Structure 1
Amino acid sequence: MKKQLFSKMGKYVLSAIMFVFMIGQVVGFSANVKADDSVGLEINGYQINTSMEAFRTLYSVSDPSDKVEEVGLVYGLTKYVSESDMVVGSTNNTVYSHSATAEGKNNICYSEMESAQTYVMTMEFVKNVDFFKNQISVRPYAKLKDGTYAYGEIVSKSVYQIADVLYQNQLMGNAAKHDYLYNNILSFVDSSYVKKDFKGSSTIVKPGTAEETTVKATEATTAKPSTGDYTTDKSIAMPFGLVAASPSNGTISIVWGRGDIDLYNVYINGVLVSKEVSCASYDYQGYAQGTYTVAVATVVGSSESERVTATVTVGGSSEPVTAAPTQAPTVVPTQAPTVVPTQAPTQQETSSIDFTTDDSIAMPFGMVVSSPYDGAVNVVWGQGTVNCYNVYVDGERRRTGVKAQSITMPVYFEGTHTVAITTVVGTRESKRLEMTIAVKGIGEKETEPETCPPELKPQLRSDLSFRDDKILMQLNNKTNGKYSNSQVYWCLLGYNAAHQLCYMDKNGNLIPANMGMNNVKVGDRMVADVCYTLEEADHVYVPSIKSGRMYLSYEKPIYITFNQASDGTIGFAGPDLNNASDPNANTLFEFAEFTIDGKYYWGNTTRVDYFSFPMITRLIGHTQYETYDKVVGDIGTRDGIFAKFLQNAPEAYKYCVNDKRIMAPCKAALNSGQAYANYFDGYINEFWAKYTNEDLVFSSEAGSFRGRVVGNQIQFRRDGDSTVYVVDKPSTQDVLEGKGAFARGNSVELAIEAQLCAAFNRGVATEPSNWYKPNKYYKNSINNYYAGFFHENSVVGLAYGFCYDDVNDQSTLLQYDNADALVIDLKW
């Protein structure tokens, strides 16, 4: 799921107290309701996750007749809804539906229904008494392939009731989590609630009467096996090299080799725990002490090979619950992912560290080497107690200090190659675990990514130091005298750990927002004074902040108005360039979006809506084994960029330019009702005609697809998947803004739409062989000239020129786990 897509989905907000944000599509039509006896739907229970500060609903769907195309949950505020309200497309404004994604599938089945699949939906807490006390109604639904809907029973429960059952029955797994319920929910709602010492275990809370029963997850693992209804086909090649281990109590770690078909099912004690996954190293948590049988089968369509098996003995479990995400999401509700490969970002060898061999360090295990295609080797291995490794090919260290994963690397001569793995502790490494493999062909040599010219790179001040707990943000005035430091403003907004909207003051403190801060009148609007100049502070150490947005402006501050929802939640109204009377309409400003968690940084600058002035952003970080130093941004002066844009722009795009900004095309003459509203229509028709008569074939992170136009839709099938995925014919505006036909459907359809949207904007829609070749982009006579221009005039060719510009990693995303500093040059 791409980040821009997430931010688009997150705009839907429940008007009562249920959510802060959500991920998942809100269905906006009335459902055609019917019962279907062959489809089973049930709520299995609830969990409270203290690290995510959220509660999770577990629900299961049984579909033995393969009638279902989409499943999910309908949520509603109990005191405001009736049974007839709790349907997809309800007109009740406290009811919302959320469709499941593949990531929401749970790796343990909690249902006794035939061929059932359990899902998990997570809702983050809103920390007020009303949220914890009010009952929330939940109802599972299934959309059938004939367009009708089937529904399960409605279950209503408050977070307080769930917490009370877990607390009174001593079910939270350890004292810290037990005490969390008392300190943060139970005594918060009821100050007279009696505290109890911890003595218990972990579980889910089942729906039922006031006298709730519970079921342990360790018991659930022995429930009816979930096989996914795959038939065994002995002609399909079995997986090879399966190794299972238990690196810690309650954990099963497995690894196997990658064959010609990279699609597998994983079973533990007969239970399907991962469905149709790629070869990698996987960890499964929450298993009680004992011996387990692990099995892996190769998948082709609805058939699978015979299973290769291994046994593993597991020590006592410290947390017998379903698998939780490795990182809590920043917006909610989100699907709790199934166990995912423990993969690290691709890293070219840059380390000059000399490692000494230490025989006392445990060697890696479970190494499997294969050749997925000519000119390449793939290596996968198991995760031990030390999850840090070096990877060698033919004696050359190709990866340093990486986690256990599946890595594909090119080889530089045809013949037999030696691949080796070592376990790393500091600057010491274990003896090498080696394997040889014969490879046909020669691969393209791995090279360092293109870097920013030194003269464009924002410079760190020598008088500022790095910190171990926070990221330094440094802002440099590079306007060449156009604006003094007292005329350059910044404003940073985001959410603190308590999920309160805050602004950051010049000393790096997050100050919770309130309505009383709207104490400055600008025109007819009351605004908050939350901006600072570079003269007041040109650097700050930024604390952890979720969904952060930093406005940067010249000559005048950005005017923000805080507002309050009916449930007391504080939000804000920022600049609105569609409103000519907005107090920010004539101010030159840019913004950056990011999330910071300690030293973790994820963020980007954007050209999706407009360009006001050039800026260059640099993120710096390091680990013991590598350095990170990446720069993105605009090349040229402001006047030069404006002139160059107009000089080469097709007539339709010249209307994007005004005296303040270069606007995105759909904010100008290519919008609905404007002179060039049909700009892409001919290209869309050309695409439609071509793929009426031939298949569109492409592969992406979501799988390999084959599509064919049928009327006003293009219908896709994914390899190994019998489902038909449908995308409607887009309009020019759908292409430019990733909306309409390119923003509807289930998670797989959204993934397809992202690829199509990117291909149309880049002018390669009818040439799928060029979809992932940036040097072929923006060559066609019809393309998004605006986006192409900012790629051409950016550092290392990266820009966020339209909403799906992160497809094929062409956006300005900066992301690193141990960032030291964010340095921004503000230019003119």
Structure 2
Amino acid sequence: MSISRHLLPRRPGVIATLVAVLTAFVTALSTLLLVSTAQAAAPAQLPVRVKNNSGQSGPLYLYVLGVDLKTDKLGYVDRAGRFTPWSLPGGDDPAPAPDVSIAGPDDGAAVTLKIPRNLSGRIYFSFGQKLAFSLVADGLVQPAPWNPSDKNADTLFDWSEFTFNDAGLWLNSSQVDQFALPHQVNVTSGDGSTDKTGDLVDGGRQKVIDAIKHTKGFERTVITGDDGQVLRVLAPGKATDAGLLAADYLDDYIAKAWKSYSGKKLTVVPFAHEPEKKFFGSSSGGKLIFTDTAGKQVASFARPSTSDVWDCDGNLAAPNDLVVGPIARTLCAALHRGTLGASTAEPVSDPESFYRTDLTNHYSAIIHANMVDKKAYGFAFDDVTGQESLIHSGDPAEAGIILDPLS
């Protein structure tokens, strides 16, 4: 799971309410990792080298925003690695956030940021102009460019997500909301080994754009600026919200997949490390009803809408538990990948079986196909069977983000 990505709240653009769930999740994960592996203590500040290979001539601006996992306070980090909590307004009316941008490197150059330990959040990067953030009483309003009235809708920008605590660093590139600025993320551990992900194939950005433009139903999800430059490709859920993708796009496929289990059983094994933990589903009255190995009913899911699938929410909402949540995320991943209905066991782990149906998440399929390692965060639970663009080190010495060429 992309730690900072999946635990963002459903309210668009606000990161305040992630604190309690995020802290609980990271604490549990940290405890597990610390118990299971002997690791050196994480440094107080982690250097993150940002290299600009974009080919863009305009100025680049960087932002480090997040949650202090010790205090639950939202804030920002300066170039030297100092965390400062936001001064939140008293009312509900949004107030402009102060400019906390960090000057980024010119094309071909690099700068090194520092991230303090016990922080979870995002590193934003924008070209040409600074991003506009707002503050409300309960937190920070982040850019939402799928809303044409958002002040950042005409800005070329993207972000990486991270959590850095005593158990190490998790860092990912994300395409859950949009595909805009391709970038590699990497981490070098104390032993000198380096792990990386997020690299596109040569010309990959344009290949993704061209493929999306030629995919029936998805043509309008490519957003172009007034100067003719492509700013982003919207993920299906965001494109649907903007009226650029049919709201019922997946409905026929979902109905067939749901109905198929009236005549056969679906076995869900949500944890690869616990193969004996199984749940059995069958369709009845428009619902998928699951029992455990003792025959006890443990979960029931009404047939989801297309929007429920794109957002992994609504009838597919995944609570932070050990039964309903894991089943929900498995079902959501299967519906995105088009394996539900054809399979009798989920999750299907062979990527060659993904995206074979006519009605599927073509956006995610195209992005995965153009990644060097075939890993991406094409939707919220793309980490099911480890398809996500996430790296982790329990003993990080340095991390990096490399902005790839746009053309």
Band of TM-score, shorter chain? 0.7 to 0.9
Q: Indicate the residue corresponding to 1:214 in structure 2.
A: none
Aligned mates of 1:4, 1:22 — CA distance in 2: 12
Q: How many residues align?
A: 377
- Cα deviation, 1:286-340, whole Å, max 9, x if unaligned, reads xxxxxxxxxxxxxxxxxxxxxxxxxxxxxxxxxxxxxxxxxxxx42599979x97
Q: Indicate the residue corresponding to 1:635 in structure 2.
A: 201
Q: Indicate the residue corresponding to 1:437 in structure 2.
A: none
- Cα deviation, 1:232-260, whole Å, max 9, x if unaligned, reads xxxxxxxxxxxxxxxxxxxxxxxxxxxxx
Aligned mates of 2:4, 2:88 — CA distance in 1: 30
C-alpha distance 508-784 of structure 1, shift in aligned 2 (>3 A): same
Correspondence list, 1:243-322, <5 A: none
Conserved? CA contact 1:5–1:804, under 8 Å: no
C-alpha distance 8-716 of structure 1, shift in aligned 2 (>3 A): farther
Out of 117, 122, 136, which is 1:549 matched to? 122
Query: SS of the residue aligned with 1:761?
Result: helix
Conserved? CA contact 2:76–2:84, under 8 Å: yes
Say whether residues 1:331 and 2:23 are aligned partners. yes
Aligned mates of 1:548, 1:654 — CA distance in 2: 32
- Cα deviation, 1:773-815, whole Å, max 9, x if unaligned, reads 1121112222100011111111311000011111111111221
- Cα deviation, 1:755-779, whole Å, max 9, x if unaligned, reads 1110111111123357111121112
Query: SS of the residue aligned with 1:651?
Result: coil
Out of 593, 596, 599, which is 2:164 matched to? 596
C-alpha distance 21-742 of structure 1, shift in aligned 2 (>3 A): same
Say whether residues 1:808 and 2:385 are aligned partners. yes
Aligned mates of 2:165, 2:327 — CA distance in 1: 31
Say whether residues 1:677 and 2:247 are aligned partners. yes
Out of 717, 724, 731, which is 2:291 matched to? 717
Q: Indicate the residue corresponding to 1:539 in structure 2.
A: 112
Question: How far apart are residue 489 of structure 1 and its match?
Answer: 0.9
Aligned mates of 1:646, 1:593 — CA distance in 2: 25
Q: Indicate the residue corresponding to 1:691 in structure 2.
A: 261
**Fraction of identical pairs, as percent:** 25
C-alpha distance 677-562 of structure 1, shift in aligned 2 (>3 A): closer
Q: Indicate the residue corresponding to 2:227 in structure 1.
A: none
Conserved? CA contact 1:471–1:820, under 8 Å: yes
C-alpha distance 711-532 of structure 1, shift in aligned 2 (>3 A): same
- Cα deviation, 1:271-293, whole Å, max 9, x if unaligned, reads xxxxxxxxxxxxxxxxxxxxxxx
Unaligned runs of 5+ in 2: 225-230
Question: How far apart are residue 620 of structure 1 and its match?
Answer: 1.5
Query: SS of the residue aligned with 1:804?
Result: coil
C-alpha distance 809-343 of structure 1, shift in aligned 2 (>3 A): farther
RCO (CA 8 Å, sep 6+): is it higher in 1 or 2? 2
Which one-letter code corresponds to 2:331 in the other structure? L
TM-score normalised to the size of structure 2? 0.81
Aligned mates of 1:655, 1:585 — CA distance in 2: 15
Unaligned runs of 5+ in 1: 13-18, 24-329, 345-401, 404-466, 517-523, 566-570
Aligned mates of 2:315, 2:394 — CA distance in 1: 35
Query: SS of the residue aligned with 1:797?
Result: coil
Aligned mates of 2:10, 2:246 — CA distance in 1: 30
Which one-letter code corresponds to 1:499 in the other structure? D
Conserved? CA contact 1:472–1:542, under 8 Å: yes
Query: SS of the residue aligned with 2:210?
Result: helix
Q: Indicate the residue corresponding to 1:7 in structure 2.
A: 7
Query: SS of the residue aligned with 1:757?
Result: helix
Question: How far apart are residue 8 of structure 1 and its match?
Answer: 4.3
Aligned mates of 1:666, 1:20 — CA distance in 2: 20
C-alpha distance 529-728 of structure 1, shift in aligned 2 (>3 A): same
- Cα deviation, 1:206-263, whole Å, max 9, x if unaligned, reads xxxxxxxxxxxxxxxxxxxxxxxxxxxxxxxxxxxxxxxxxxxxxxxxxxxxxxxxxx
Which one-letter code corresponds to 1:510 in the other structure? F
Conserved? CA contact 1:617–1:822, under 8 Å: yes
Conserved? CA contact 1:469–1:599, under 8 Å: no
In our comparison, the structure showing a higher alpha carbon Rg is: 1
Aligned mates of 2:18, 2:238 — CA distance in 1: 28
C-alpha distance 759-654 of structure 1, shift in aligned 2 (>3 A): same
C-alpha distance 556-641 of structure 1, shift in aligned 2 (>3 A): farther
Say whether residues 1:504 and 2:77 are aligned partners. yes
Q: Which is strand-richer, 1 or 2?
A: 1
Out of 147, 155, 176, which is 1:608 matched to? 176
Coordinate RMSD, CA, aligned: 3.3
- Cα deviation, 1:457-490, whole Å, max 9, x if unaligned, reads xxxxxxxxxx95432200111022x225xx0110
